[in-house]
Amino acid sequence: MKKSFFHKLFLLFTLITLPALVFANGFQINEQGVKSLGMGGAFVAQADNPDAVYYNPAGITQLEGAQISLGLSPITPTVTFDSDQTGKSTDAKKQTFYIPIFYATLKATDRVSVGFGTFSNYGLATEWPSDWEGRYITGGTKAEIVTLTLNPNIAYKLTDKLSIAVGLDIQKLEVTLANKLKLIKADINGDNNDETILLDSDGDSELSADDWAYGYNIAIHYSITKNWKAGISYRSKIKHEIKDGTADISVPTGTVIEDGTQTPSMSLQKTGSTNLTLPDILYIGTSYKLGKFTFELDGQWTGWSSYDKLEVTFEDGSVQSKPKDWDDVWAIRFGMQYKVNDMLDLRAGLIRDYSPIPDETLDPLVSSGDRWLYALGFGLNFENLSIDFAYNYLDDENRTFNNNVGSEAPYGITAPQMTGEFKSADAHIFGISVTYRFK
């Protein structure tokens, strides 16, 4: 019964969260709260509403009573590929994705607070036309990585100024990578004469896997003075060890594969195993309140060097391996809030987010470069209720695609070389949340 409940919960999140085209660099998602979203995610030092469960759970000792926050963040991304070979432009499928937000906190005693959050801080969903040039790359027609993390935390107030927190990350992962297979022309009739009909067709491949894994998080919040705060928050790596992933392969009638054998319509399933380590994250920041203004500057480090390869070992001993060799990177976040009055807060933010992906392993799954994000938001505050709104515009740099990834198709089948440029990548990110304080 417990397993069934968690499976249903994950399916619900899958339906409404499929985060698209990576919104922080790599396939990390930082849209984890709407008040923080309006300030460019610069929130680790303020940490003064339930969003703190994600950004800095040590900050929840600042929150009185019991509080609950519910929200939604719709995201609409776009990206285009311009081919050097054909001169053709291909657009990724335009979709809108919805990232849910849920946090709850409780001040248990004067010094102890507890918090709980559910979030999806890693994921991607890309879908390209079935006839585009990159269709033979692993995940070249459809790629989905979906995570759901359940995160209980406990925070302790060591002194009036210093709080610490520790939490457990319980994470579900599902991965689907679909692409076409480049197949050899076939002699359907088998008579090798001039009237032979030749088949130049594509097969289909889909890799899928899921896994539960665990990690931890720790955090510190310190009030240097009444108006000056600092925060540090760390989330550990989470290693997923997938033992029973599957590869579904289908080949059309009359296709010749690898050894020259002509086949009828064929489908087969292979079982494989792989490891995927999602990186650790460090947030560090400071905020300062000056009159009606609050300013915050944060640095976010992500250990993407843990993503060194994507390798699947099948039960028959065959191996499909793709190097990734991503780099550890920083993102710089600046945010500010202006308190117009007790009812209205105005917010803005600016983010510089650097790409971890080297040119040598860039692919259509994650084609992001260095990017800027521009944030605006506002909050309406009532006696026990706050309603927050936010908007971010993501502007990604163009990336030149000119490496061997395009020709290294799965299962040893050579695909045409592909070069070009990923461009016009941007996203509109919205957010709305409601926070209620029980007193």
Tell me what pLDDT residue 47 has: 95
- Centroid of chain to Cα 82: 25
Mean pLDDT, to the nearest integer, of 253-259?
53
Tell me what pLDDT residue 174 has: 87
Instruction: Give the mean pLDDT of the chain.
Output: 84
Tell me what pLDDT residue 133 has: 84
36 vs 321: CA distance, rounded Å: 38
- Bridge partners, 234 (sequence order): 218, 282
The model's confidence at residue 171, banded by pLDDT at 50, 70 and 90, is: very high
Mean pLDDT, to the nearest integer, of 314-339?
88
Q: What is the dihedral angle through the alpha carbons of 3, 5, 7, 8, rounded to the nearest 10 degrees? A: 160
Percent of the chain with pLDDT strictly greater than 90: 48
CA atoms in the 13 A half-sphere facing the CB of 299: 4
386 vs 377: CA distance, rounded Å: 13
Tens of pLDDT along 107-162?
Answer: 999 999 999 999 888 877 788 898 888 888 878 888 888 888 999 999 999 999 99
CA torsion through residues 39, 41, 45, 50, sign = positive
Lowest mean pLDDT among 163-177, 203-217, 277-291: 203-217
Q: Is 50 exceeded by the pLDDT of residue 412?
A: yes
Tell me what pLDDT residue 337 has: 98
**How much is the pTM?**
0.84
Contact 147, 215 (CB under 8 A): no
Tell me what pLDDT residue 127 has: 87
Tell me what pLDDT residue 266 has: 62
Paired tokens of 323: 């190097």
Contact 389, 34 (CB under 8 A): yes
Coil vs helix vs strand at 194: coil
Picking from 114, 111, 115, 112, the residue whose alpha carbon sits closest to that of residue 103 is 115
Tell me what pLDDT residue 11 has: 41
* CATH code, 2-438: 2.40.160.60
Tens of pLDDT along 262-321?
Answer: 555 567 777 888 888 899 999 999 999 999 999 999 999 999 999 888 778 888 777 777
Tens of pLDDT along 364-404?
Answer: 777 888 999 999 999 999 999 999 999 999 999 999 988 87
332 vs 286: CA distance, rounded Å: 12
298 vs 41: CA distance, rounded Å: 8
Percent of the chain with pLDDT strictly greater than 70: 84
Picking from 143, 112, 149, 178, the residue whose alpha carbon sits closest to that of residue 13 is 149
- Centroid of chain to Cα 325: 18
Give residue limits of the domains in the chain: 2-438
Tell me what pLDDT residue 207 has: 82
